């Protein structure tokens, strides 16, 4: 087995707390992703998904309310936007950049790409990039592949080619990965040290897995657990000087009790001095310069052996 | 159906229950070393991404497990060391090839390395089962400098005894450590009971044991800390035992390390709390509450 292919996506060990530095001596990085997808299944956004009261709420009152809360707490977010949404809500998406938010790509229609042929996936990435560039006036720097509420795994899906194709298309970062809680490198080729910077994501800080989860009508509303996860992670990461991130969906977090909770949490968070709240692209640019893969990717040569009767 | 048939059913069911019960030897008069009121084993199942790989799960899932090897295990070592806790790391043999540096740090800090299967499965074919166990014992011995004596697996008791194992930590037929024997009444092993109530995966992992999205009730560390503290208090009051099962890819997340730090800190405010390795507990039980003559 070359390196640990098929087992790991990154190197042997994360950076320790003491190795971390943020711009201007900031003590902790705080990042926020807002997912504008309304896809319910692996095929991505369908006409049915777009024609629900929740989708309408998410694009109107929910998003407006969320933006207002972000504005109040001077929080900047990265909006993960499927090409379909950029196309159907062109002015809305464009207006987000005026408030200092970043627009990143989130698939053509937030479809599951894991089974796509390489050429098919390349075409989808190209078309998505083109549509977003047209709407925002600039090529997106980042690509997301976030999970949906009904997914089998709450982690998001990529194909064996995704990372390579994103590099080929000039993307700076992949917006969601789970191998670390700080930015880290996804190794697409061991020999040439070809890597794509990956920003951390974790479903315990994603509203959709706590609010009327797994679907509306279940009555399983656990905003308290979500809040305790946010608080607990923020406090712990702040103490360590690392990175805190949360993932929000306007159709979920924009609704009354949840919006109030977010508002209060952000007020608490803003009470801490020395936070750095970049967009994902700003964070990626800083990281690529401060911790370039050439110096910080610590890939040990493999000591793996193949045996009959064992996984290879 | 006649009365005779019903009576026959009673005989059969009773015999099944009796035979199962006879394979267990409890220790109702369990005592701990002088001054100890409760033994608490902190145990880690260090499979990282191996189980995900075994189930052919997609790359993002592998990355989720990888967190355990790149980040989680290091934080747990630091946490245990800060509290003077000696932990037991149940380690698949293959992890020796994936995260040797982390395992060397585990050994350096005086924690125990025990078996957690070769690649997180016990093959059904007896020859291959032994091959996997032998490989794991060799790999763990190379890292730890001594052979493992404990396992968290369903390896057959006869095979485990043959390779020098003295304990298993898997099931919970009693809250105290107890002995288990095979169908023939031999091959006794001490079992250090672990219960899903005190297992981080039950609360934090999405899709654990293949469950689908609608079955998920993921929760927060404060709630779990409260449950575990209540379990500890109850066992403390009866002079018992607690085995805390953690997975570095879950408990190694910063918010949970903080919860564990508070939990251990609270435990330490009470007198007589012992944080040994599983092997220390097993040796104490075997020495002071020996199994049936000649069985271990």
The residue ranges of DSSP E strands in A106-231, in sequence order, are 142-143, 173-177, 184-189, 194-200
Q: Which residue has the tokens 């390349």?
A: A122
Nearest CB to B62: which of A8, A157, A203?
A: A8
Q: Which residue has the tokens 């996997």?
A: B132
Regarding an ipTM greater than 0.90, the answer is: yes
SS3 A197: strand
Do the Cβ atoms of A215 and A153 come closer than 8 Å? Answer: no
Measured between beta carbons, the chain B residues lying within 8 angstroms of A214 are 213-214, 216
Measured between beta carbons, the chain A residues lying within 8 angstroms of B221 are 228-229, 232
Q: Which of A113-127, B92-106, B207-221, B246-260 has the lowest mean pLDDT?
A: B207-221
Share of chain B above pLDDT 70, in %: 98
* B12 phi/psi in degrees, rounded to 5: -65, -45
Q: How confident is the model at residue A2 (pLDDT cuts 50, 70, 90)?
A: low
Q: How confident is the model at residue A305 (pLDDT cuts 50, 70, 90)?
A: confident
* Interface touch A309/B204, C-beta < 8 Å: no
**Chain A residue nearest residue B117, CA to CA:** A310
Cα–Cα distance measured from residue B101 to residue B179, given in angstroms and rounded to the nearest whole number: 35
Nearest CB to B213: which of A13, A150, A309?
A: A150
Nearest CB to A178: which of B60, B97, B259?
A: B60
Per-residue model confidence (pLDDT) at position A132: 98
Q: How far is B110 from chain A (nearest CA, A)?
A: 21
Measured between beta carbons, the chain B residues lying within 8 angstroms of A16 are 74
Per-residue model confidence (pLDDT) at position B212: 80
Q: How far is B178 from chain A (nearest CA, A)?
A: 33
pLDDT digits (tens, 9 = 90+) for A78-100: 999 999 999 999 999 999 999 99
Cβ partners under 8 Å of residue A184, min gap 6:
A10, A11, A14, A177, A197, A198, A200, B70
Nearest CB to A229: which of B63, B97, B220?
A: B220
Stretch B215-233: mean pLDDT, rounded? 94
A/B interface, count of CB pairs below 8 Å: 161
Do the Cβ atoms of A185 and A197 come closer than 8 Å? Answer: yes
Report the predicted TM-score, pTM, of the whole model to 2 decimal places.
0.96
- By residue count, chain B amounts to 296
**Chain A residue nearest residue B211, CA to CA:** A152
* Interface touch B254/A158, C-beta < 8 Å: no
Per-residue model confidence (pLDDT) at position A312: 81
Residue A296: CB atoms within 10 A of its CB come to 14
């Amino acid at each position: 087995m070359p390196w640990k292919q098929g087992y790991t996506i990154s190197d042997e060990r994360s950076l320790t707390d003491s190795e971390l530095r943020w711009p201007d001596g900031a003590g902790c990085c705080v990042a926020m992703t807002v997912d504008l997808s309304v896809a319910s299944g692996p095929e991505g956004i369908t006409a049915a998904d777009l024609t629900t009261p929740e989708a309408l709420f998410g694009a109107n009152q929910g998003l407006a309310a969320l933006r207002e809360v972000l504005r109040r707490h001077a929080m900047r977010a990265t909006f993960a936007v499927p090409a379909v949404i950029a196309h159907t809500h062109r002015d809305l998406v464009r207006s987000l950049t005026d408030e200092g938010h970043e627009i990143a790509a989130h698939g053509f229609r937030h479809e599951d790409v894991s089974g796509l042929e390489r050429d098919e996936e390349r075409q989808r990435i190209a078309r998505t990039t083109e549509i977003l560039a047209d709407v925002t006036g600039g090529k997106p720097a980042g690509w997301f592949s976030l999970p949906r509420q009904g997914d089998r795994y709450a982690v998001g899906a990529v194909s064996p080619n995704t990372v390579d194709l994103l590099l080929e298309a000039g993307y700076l970062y992949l917006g969601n990965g789970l191998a670390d809680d700080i930015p880290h490198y996804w190794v697409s080729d061991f020999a040439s040290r070809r890597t794509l910077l990956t920003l951390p994501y974790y479903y315990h800080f994603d509203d959709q897995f706590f609010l009327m989860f797994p679907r509306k009508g279940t009555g399983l509303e656990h905003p308290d657990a979500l809040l305790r996860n946010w608080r607990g992670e923020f406090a712990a990461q702040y103490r360590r000087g690392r990175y805190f991130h949360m993932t929000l969906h306007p159709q979920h977090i924009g609704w009354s009790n949840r919006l109030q909770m977010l508002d209060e949490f952000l007020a608490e968070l803003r009470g801490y001095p020395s936070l750095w709240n970049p967009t994902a692209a700003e964070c990626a640019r800083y990281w690529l310069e401060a911790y370039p893969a050439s110096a910080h990717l610590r890939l040990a040569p493999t000591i793996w052996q193949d045996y009959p009767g064992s996984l290879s | 159906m006649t009365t005779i048939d019903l009576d026959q059913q009673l005989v059969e069911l009773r015999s099944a229950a009796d035979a199962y019960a006879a394979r267990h030897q409890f220790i109702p008069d369990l005592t701990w070393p002088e001054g100890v009121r409760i033994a608490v084993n902190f145990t880690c199942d260090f499979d990282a991404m191996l189980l995900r790989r075994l189930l052919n799960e997609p790359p993002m899932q592998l990355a989720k497990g990888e967190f355990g090897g790149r980040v989680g295990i290091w934080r747990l070592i630091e946490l245990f060391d800060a509290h003077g806790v000696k932990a037991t790391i149940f380690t698949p043999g293959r992890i020796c090839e994936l995260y040797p540096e982390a395992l060397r740090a585990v050994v350096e800090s005086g924690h125990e390395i025990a078996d957690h299967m070769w690649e997180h499965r016990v093959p059904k074919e007896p020859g291959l089962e032994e091959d996997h166990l032998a490989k794991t014992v060799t790999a763990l011995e190379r890292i730890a400098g001594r052979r493992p004596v404990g396992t968290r697996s369903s390896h057959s008791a006869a095979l485990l005894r043959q390779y020098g194992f003295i304990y298993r930590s898997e099931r919970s037929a009693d809250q105290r450590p107890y002995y288990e024997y095979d169908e023939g009444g031999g091959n006794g092993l001490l079992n250090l009971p672990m219960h899903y109530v005190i297992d981080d995966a039950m609360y934090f992992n999405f899709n654990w044991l293949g469950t689908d999205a609608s079955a998920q009730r993921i929760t927060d560390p404060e709630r779990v800390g409260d449950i575990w503290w209540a379990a500890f208090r109850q066992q403390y009051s009866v002079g018992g035992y607690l085995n805390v099962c953690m997975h570095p890819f879950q408990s190694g997340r910063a918010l949970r390390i903080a919860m564990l730090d508070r939990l251990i800190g609270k435990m330490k405010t009470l007198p007589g709390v012992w944080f040994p390795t599983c092997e220390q507990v097993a040796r104490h039980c075997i020495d002071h509450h020996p199994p049936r003559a000649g069985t271990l």
